[in-house]
Every structure is written in structure tokens, then in C-alpha cells.
A = this chain, B = another copy of it.
Amino acid sequence: MHIFYTPQIANGQCTLSEEESKHCIKVLRLVPGDKVLLIDGVGGYHTAEIADPNPKRCTLTITNTINNYEQRPYRIHIAIAPTKNIDRTEWFVEKAVEIGIDEITMLVSQHSERKNVNLDRIEKIIVSAMKQSVKAYKPVLNDITPFDKFVKTPRDGRKLIAHCIESEKHPLKAMVDDCNEYTVLIGPEGDFSPEEVALAAANGYSPIDLGPYRLRTETAALVACHTINLLKQ
């Protein structure tokens, strides 16, 4: 069955966005009565039937709902300095949504070569990966944030920073325990600066290593995301 994303569900009815409506009616040529799957981004997994096949605002009637669909009992937030080549960051986003992530922040760090990101494009990648891997919860995507502001913001749970500067670090796998909230900072190609590492430490971030290999920014972010998921499952 085809799957659509819509946050707009009320009273057993929903309306697809203009883009999803066009895809549903013009491309897939679905007609009234056809059954589809819907994810709403807040944990709802629905079956529905086409009611009004309007190619700009297609409406559907919900026939069944499962709430809290595949809800994870833990939360992962990755804050990553986006890569110079944005494809690599976009790839990370797609894969992290498939594997399981709750919040993504794009960081601006001292050594960042990239200080801006097209967040609309990242949102589309998130929705596409949600549909592909049937995720009913939509990860939060935050606006691009300066490193200093990010680390000074109070957060619950385990706060971790991955960097390559020589220092005492804990393997990430040793830091995954019964805590259910993890925030991991991943630096740019040129790594975090010593001042940033010190600022993170002063704000309660523990340095971690991600194994005995040298990883690109986007690989490090995905390895962190997968390690926490694997060990919490």
C-alpha cells in the first residue's frame, strides 16, 4: 500500500499537502475508496481511504489508527557541524532516520567550512526517509545553531562530544547505560577547536571515542546514532 505523510488529521479526516495530493492523484492515479497508509509524525500510523481525490488537497477518511507506533523508550539527539559537501550531511540524515533518531541540530563550529544549510531540503529528506522506513514519529530538525549557544543550553541525560584531540575518552559503547536520553556533538572536517572542547567539558559534555578508526564527520554521526540504538534495543 502507498504511504503518505500528513500532520493534518482531525475528526477522522485528513488532507494531504499539495505535493502529496498531486503525487497521490496525478502520479499514482488513486481513486475514491482506494486504501493507503498514513503517518502523522507524532506516532500515529493510520489506514485510510481516499474520500475526495482533489489533486491539490486530497482528503481521506481514517479507517484505523495505531498510536505510539514503534515508539522507542529512549531519545537520541545528534548535533552535527554540516559537511562542506552537503550531500554527505544529507546522507547522514537519511540513514539516521532509517535507523532511528529523534532530534538533529546543525551546528556552526569554529572550524566549520559551511555555515548555512537549506533546512527545507533536509526536511524533505526526513519525510522521504520516514515514509521509506515507516516511521510514525518525525525527528525534530532545529535551526542552525552556534556551538557556544548549543552547549550552554541546559539538557537532560548523557551529554557527549566526539573529537580527535588527544585526551582521555570513554568508548561510546561504555557510555550507553540505563539513561534514556543522549545528546552527541559531532565536529566539522577540521574537528572542534580546543576552546570548544573545553567549553563543552565545562558544560558537562564527556569526551567519547567511536572506535579505533578515523571517521569522516557524517560517518561518525551515523556510527554514534547506530551504536546507541543497537545497545538500547
Q: Give the interface of A toward B (CB within 8 A).
A: 70, 91, 95, 98-100, 132-134, 171, 173, 211-216, 219, 222-223, 226-227, 229-230, 233
Q: Which of B95, B98, B173, B215 contacts A99 (CB 8 A)?
A: B215
Query: Complex formed: what's the CA distance from A193 to B74 in Å?
Result: 35
A214/B99 in contact, CB under 8 A? no
Q: Considering the complex, give the chain B residue whose CB is closest to the CB of A229.
A: B211
Query: Complex formed: what's the CA distance from A216 to B95 in Å?
Result: 9
B173/A216 in contact, CB under 8 A? no
Q: Which of B98, B171, B216 contacts A219 (CB 8 A)?
A: B98
A211/B230 in contact, CB under 8 A? yes
Query: Complex formed: what's the CA distance from A127 to B91 in Å?
Result: 21
Q: Which of B171, B216, B226 contacts A98 (CB 8 A)?
A: B216
- Taking the closest CB of chain B, its distance from the CB of A125, in whole angstroms, is 13
- Chain B residues whose CB sits within 8 angstroms of the CB of A95 once the complex forms: 219, 222
B212/A233 in contact, CB under 8 A? yes
Query: Complex formed: what's the CA distance from A233 to B223 in Å?
Result: 14
A173/B213 in contact, CB under 8 A? no
What are 8 residue pairs bridging A and B, where the CB atoms are less than 8 Å apart in the complex? A70-B212, A95-B219, A98-B214, A99-B213, A134-B214, A173-B233, A211-B229, A222-B222
- Chain B residues whose CB sits within 8 angstroms of the CB of A216 once the complex forms: 98, 132-133
B229/A226 in contact, CB under 8 A? no
